[in-house]
Amino acid sequence: MVPPLVSWLFGASPRSLAPALYGLSRRKHRCVRDALRNGTWVQELRARVSPPLLESFVALRVLLELAQLSPGMRDKFTWRFSSDGVYSASSAYRLQFAGAVESPFVQLIWKPWATPRCRLFAWLLAQNRLMTADRLLARQWPNDYFCPLCMRNLETTAHLFVECPLSRRIWEKVATLAAAPTLNPATWDVHHMVVDWLGCLTRGRPNAEASRVRSWAMLVLWHIWLERNARTFRASTSTLESLIAKIADEAVAWDRMGGAKISSPRE
């Protein structure tokens, strides 16, 4: 028996050529030989084809009359997603990603070494899913409006992590601490999307160094968010020096946990 999607009619199938007619068919899995014998498929559709379907019916009938069957040859299955026509688990797996769009999150977030919570946090940040004041305003939920780090501007993800004066001082200190010049705000271009900004931090850098810088970036982003929450929910404020000390201590802890030795530049 030939499944509906097998391409036996000049590289196509009746289902793809005339989907509306296929929907009217009562025996969708009939083999080619039985369908063509004495025009059986025509008799089955008789009195069921409406005027709008006549054009499709005639076009399909012309193609079927041109089809030549080989006596004694049995129908066979062909897997059209592999070069040899044979099904394999690997080809089925690759098929799941057909038409997929490559995401920058793999290189920016998931491959660099970081703790799971930092990776998940960075992933939410890159998708603008953090509940900053601008998102709370859009939902008409209670919010404090101003950035809790500088109390000057509306709190958005771009402002909190990239534009805020305190955040930029943190990045400047960490750039020296990590020996990673691209983390210094003086080297940044203007970007409206956080994910674009993350990508530019390591553009043109060797893979190993890029991975180390991305790990540092996720660590700093996480601590800026912790400080933001401390000021918002607990009215607790840390000095710049204490924030840098916390970041440095956790970088050393990441090294001890089996991280990518982010606390010192790679050779």
Whether 121 and 250 share a structural domain: yes
146 with 166: CB under 8 angstroms?
A: no
In this structure, is residue 9 part of a structural domain? no
**Does 264 reside within a domain?**
no
Residues 140 and 236 grouped into a single domain:
yes
| 184, 185, 186, 191: CA torsion to nearest 10 | 130
Number of domains in the chain: 2
Residue closest to 225 by CA, chosen among 201, 254, 247, 241: 247
Task: State which of 34, 68, 95 marks the end of a domain.
Answer: 95
pLDDT the model gives residue 149: 96
100 within some domain: no
Residue 57 lies in a domain: yes
Give the span between the Cα atoms of 213 and 231, in whole angstroms: 27
Q: Does any domain span residue 263? A: no
In a domain, 33, yes or no: yes
Statement to judge: residues 113 and 175 lie in one domain: yes
* Co-location of 63 and 90 in the same domain: yes
pLDDT of residue 17: 79
Whole-number pLDDT of residue 64 = 76
Residues 54 and 183 in one domain: no
128 shares its domain with 199: yes
The CB density around residue 227, as the number of other CB atoms within 10 Å, is 21
Residues 121 and 182 both lie in one domain: yes
Coil, strand or helix at 1: coil
Q: pLDDT at position 46, please?
A: 64
- Domain-located, residue 3: no
Helix axes 165-177, 240-256, angle to 10 degrees: 40
Q: Are residues 85 and 180 in the same domain?
A: no
Domain that residue 72 falls in = 14-95
Q: Divide the 267 residues of the chain into consecutive groups of 10 and give the mean pLDDT of each group.
A: 51 77 75 72 72 80 74 71 86 86 83 92 93 95 95 94 95 94 89 81 78 92 97 95 95 80 57
Nearest partner of 196 among 139, 224, 157, judged by Cα: 157
Q: Which residues contact 146 (CB under 8 A, 6 or more apart)?
A: 133, 152, 153, 154, 155
71 with 159, same domain: the answer is no
Say if 266 falls within a structural domain: no
What is the pLDDT, as a whole number, of residue 1? 36
